[in-house]
Amino acid sequence: MADPQLTSMQSIRRTALVLKALSEGPSRGLRLSDVSTAVELSKTTALRLLKALMDVGYVDYDEAAKCYRLGYELFALGISARRFHIIELARPGLARLAEATEDTVFLSVRDGDQALCADRCTGSYPIRTLTLSVGDRRPLGVGAGSLALLAFENPAEIDRILEATRRDRLTYAGHDDETMTQLIGQTQRTGHSYNDGRIVGAMNAVGVPVLDANGRVVAALSIAAIRERMTGPRRSELVALLIAEAEQLGRALGSRDMERMTGGAG
């Protein structure tokens, strides 16, 4: 008779291998035969594991492409694991930016195909632009921080996200596919995003990506202010401040990750 403990351990290992195969596969996902080959299991066993993962939202199935890919619930789980880590490291920088600019500063992270406002710090200027509260979500690309998160993904992922968020973006004027392509290109060329009143007419915002040691986008920092406080020269100053803090945060994230990998050994 099989040992139940060993059977459970084997199932966990196989499930982990399936998730690893999907994470290392193309963004469009993997066919059942690809998963089966990657994890060296029969199609029947691989399908059973995939269906179990679909039941809890860790895997999605694209009917048109006949492909399996990682689901949003798994993305959310990963974000939750790192969210407090990023917030903790970003908070001093948010405070410095709010003090230096007197405006509202946001930290955004990706949650599936949405941008999540993970933290916010308000400056002392009497007119405050509180267009996002902590926990608010928008489709990727809608808003300065959200656009900074989207624009620096790889081209294939950008195309997938634009297709996936098309319906949700319809509720935001000026965020159709053609306009988004223009905004993404502009953001990539300048190194920062610019929201010129597309969500709230009297409010403008700028945002920059936070990159990890491998050049991947892990978060975005943005500053929002009334239109009069986002003129050309001042906007350049705000962008420079954001870039400096984003680079410092990226280095801090890299140092913390390295410390965890080495167990804090000196």
Question: pLDDT digits over 152-200, tens only?
Answer: 999 999 999 999 999 999 889 889 999 999 999 999 999 999 999 888 8
Domain-by-domain residue ranges, the chain?
4-70, 75-261
What lies within 8 Å, CB to CB, of 167 at 6+ separation is none
Separation of alpha carbons 149 and 86, rounded Å: 15
Q: Mean pLDDT score of the chain, rounded to an integer?
A: 87
What lies within 8 Å, CB to CB, of 198 at 6+ separation is 172, 173, 174, 175
Separation of alpha carbons 221 and 107, rounded Å: 5
Which CATH architecture describes the domain 75-261? 2-Layer Sandwich (3.30)
Sign of CA dihedral 86, 21, 51, 114: positive
High-pLDDT (> 90) share of the chain, %: 55
pLDDT at 233: 92
Separation of alpha carbons 56 and 18, rounded Å: 14
Residue listed under structure tokens 């939202």:
57
Task: Examine the pLDDT at 266 and tell me if it is beyond 80.
Answer: no
Task: Examine the pLDDT at 11 and tell me if it is beyond 70.
Answer: yes
Q: Which fold has domain 4-70?
A: Arc Repressor Mutant, subunit A (1.10.10)
DSSP, res 25: S
The model's pLDDT over 209-250, given as tens digits with 9 standing for 90+, comes to: 999 888 889 999 999 999 999 988 999 999 999 999 999 999
Of residues 83, 89, 121, the one with CA closest to residue 105: 121
